[in-house]
């Protein structure tokens, strides 16, 4: 067996969150066992995708589900499905094609680094609104013969500029247009698994490798059965746009098991663990002049999920001799390494992916670093 140590790859204490760069989340023993069991036999992938989807849809209580190679892959498949439908010729050519009905309407404030997956699939964005406002009439006016779908990025609902999902759904559906929702990192709360579907969203994408703690290379698509059938038709193992977004049987069974466990687990206990870890870190670093920590919740996008309490540290360079970036860099080069995130004013410690006890190491390491500077 080759280990991280053999390769010289360092292990990380993850105080950042379920970031893909930091390898997402950790799978439970049950998920790994399901993957190992799945590895012993051959199956027909179509059969497995259809039946795992049906199983999960019934468990979650939605019309249809499909396991994908990540939420971003789900965005690409959703786009392909909305553009190509079941047209074999279009399906085979995507992302290229002539006179495609390929416009995806998006609010300007909903553009984000993940939406390249939509362009990859042949989608062409038609932007509405601006950085500070967006109105229903702008959505109405952008709809044309060439519109394939409307894209909605849940994180951007935090902006005042965002046209809310319920209004988007009302307008889009009045024009028989599907709404694709990126909810990749919107768990917890668990209720979000069904919230956007219940509001009427047509296709909703979640990451399998974030809070669901399935394989990192998996995703969960939920939604309307006809559209999900089209997503599957445009995806692996078929020769279509989704063919490079391959999933192995182990990943499919791993995510299926992870979702099953997710629906049963005690979410209140997880919340308590995060709160305790955040409070421990804040409390035990309180005495250091120039380092001011506060337990709270994020108020800007790209720090999802917003319901997890974190510690927001202001780092005063004059008092401490280092700023927040320099402190983070020292943490990254500590042994073991600690990764954190930032907003404009703060170094943020997110307990979401911290193992039990790691909060103690973080406190000791930050204290050690600051002592070393003085
Ligand atoms: C992580 C993330 C994605 C991509 O999800 P993968 O499962 O890694 O493909 C897309 N959108 C948002 C908002 C994300 O946070």
User: Is 109's C-beta closer than 6 angstroms to any atom of ligand 1?
Assistant: no
Q: Calculate what percentage of the chain has a pLDDT beyond 90.
A: 94
User: What Rg value do the Cα atoms of the chain yield, rounded?
Assistant: 22
| Contact criterion met (CB below 8 Å) for 67 and 90 | no
User: Is 184's C-beta closer than 6 angstroms to any atom of ligand 1?
Assistant: yes
What's the CA gap between 184 and 220, in Å, rounded? 9
User: Is 154's C-beta closer than 6 angstroms to any atom of ligand 1?
Assistant: no
Q: Which atom of ligand 1 is nearest to the CA of 154?
A: 13
Residue nearest to atom 11 of ligand 1 (CA): 184
How far away, in angstroms, is 347 Cα from ligand 1 center?
23
Confirm or reject CATH 3.50.50.60 for domain 42-264, answering yes or no. Answer: no
User: Is 214's C-beta closer than 6 angstroms to any atom of ligand 1?
Assistant: no
Segments making up each domain of the chain, as ranges: 4-20+266-373, 42-264
The residue whose CB lies within 8 Å of the most ligand 1 atoms, and thus the one to mutate among 25, 70, 183, 353, is 70
Q: Which atom of ligand 1 is nearest to the CA of 155?
A: 13
| Segment 168-178 mean pLDDT | 98
What pLDDT is attached to residue 159?
Answer: 87
Q: Which atom of ligand 1 is nearest to the CA of 209?
A: 7
| Segment 84-96 mean pLDDT | 95
Q: What is the pLDDT of residues 54-80, one digit of tens each?
A: 999 999 999 999 999 999 999 999 999
Q: Which long-range contacts (CB under 8 A, 24 or more apart) does 265-270 make?
A: 267/188, 267/189, 267/190, 270/188
Nearest to 91 by CA among 245, 237, 238, 247: 238
User: Is 70's C-beta closer than 6 angstroms to any atom of ligand 1?
Assistant: yes
160 has pLDDT over 90? no
| Segment 4-14 mean pLDDT | 96
Give me the CATH topology for the region 4-20+266-373: 3.90.1150
Strand ranges for the chain from DSSP E = 12-14, 64-68, 103-107, 124-128, 147-153, 179-182, 203-207, 219-223, 291-296, 310-315, 337-339, 341-342, 347-349
What pLDDT is attached to residue 302?
Answer: 67
How far away, in angstroms, is 163 Cα from ligand 1 center?
21
User: Is 20's C-beta closer than 6 angstroms to any atom of ligand 1?
Assistant: yes
The residue whose CB lies within 8 Å of the most ligand 1 atoms, and thus the one to mutate among 17, 109, 182, 258, is 182
How far away, in angstroms, is 71 Cα from ligand 1 center?
5
| C-alpha dihedral, 38 to 40 to 43 to 45, nearest 10° | 50
What pLDDT is attached to residue 206?
Answer: 98
301 has pLDDT over 90? no
| Contact criterion met (CB below 8 Å) for 53 and 77 | no
What pLDDT is attached to residue 267?
Answer: 95
374 has pLDDT over 80? no
Q: What is the pLDDT of residues 214-245, one digit of tens each?
A: 999 999 999 999 999 999 999 999 999 999 99
Q: Which residues of 162-192 are buried (b: 16+ CB within 10 A; e: fewer)?
A: bbebeebbebbeeeebbbbbbbbbbbbebeb
What number of other Cβ atoms are within 10 A of residue 264's Cβ?
A: 8
Segment holding 173, helix H or strand E: helix 165-174
Average pLDDT over all residues of the chain: 96
82 has pLDDT over 80? yes
């Amino acid at each position: 067996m080759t280990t991280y140590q053999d390769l010289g790859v360092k292990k990380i204490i993850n105080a950042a969150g379920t970031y893909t760069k930091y390898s997402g989340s950790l799978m439970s023993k049950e998920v790994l066992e399901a993957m190992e069991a799945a590895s012993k036999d051959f199956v027909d992938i179509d059969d497995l995708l259809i039946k795992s989807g049906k199983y999960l849809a019934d468990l979650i209580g939605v019309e249809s589900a499909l396991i994908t190679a990540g939420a971003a892959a789900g965005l690409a498949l959703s786009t392909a499905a909305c553009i190509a439908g079941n047209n074999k010729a279009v399906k085979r050519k995507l992302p290229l094609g002539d006179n495609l009905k390929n416009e995806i309407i998006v609010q300007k404030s909903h553009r984000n680094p993940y939406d390249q997956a939509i362009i990859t699939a042949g989608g062409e964005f038609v932007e509405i609104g601006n950085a500070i406002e967006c109105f229903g009439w702008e959505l109405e006016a952008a709809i044309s013969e060439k519109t394939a779908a409307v894209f909605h990025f849940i994180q951007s609902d935090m902006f005042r500029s965002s046209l809310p999902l319920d209004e988007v759904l009302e307008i889009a559906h009045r024009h028989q247009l599907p709404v694709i929702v990126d909810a990749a990192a919107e768990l917890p709360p668990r209720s979000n698994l069904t919230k956007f579907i219940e509001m009427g969203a047509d296709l909703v994408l979640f990451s399998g490798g974030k809070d669901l703690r399935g394989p990192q290379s998996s995703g969960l698509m939920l939604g309307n059965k006809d559209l999900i059938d089209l997503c599957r038709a445009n995806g692996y193992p078929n020769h279509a746009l989704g063919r490079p977004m391959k999933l192995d049987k182990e990943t499919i069974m791993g995510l299926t098991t992870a979702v099953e466990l997710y629906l049963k687990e005690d979410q209140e206990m997880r919340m308590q663990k995060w709160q305790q870890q955040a409070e421990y870190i804040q409390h035990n670093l309180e005495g250091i002049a120039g380092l001011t920590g506060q337990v709270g919740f994020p108020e800007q996008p790209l720090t999802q999920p917003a319901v997890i309490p974190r510690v927001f540290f202001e780092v005063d360079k004059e008092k401490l001799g280092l700023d927040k970036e320099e402190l983070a860099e020292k943490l990254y080069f500590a042994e073991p390494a600690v990764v954190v995130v930032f907003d404009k004013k703060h170094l943020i410690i997110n307990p979401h992916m911290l193992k039990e006890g790691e909060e103690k190491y973080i406190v000791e390491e930050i204290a050690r670093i600051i002592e070393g500077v003085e």
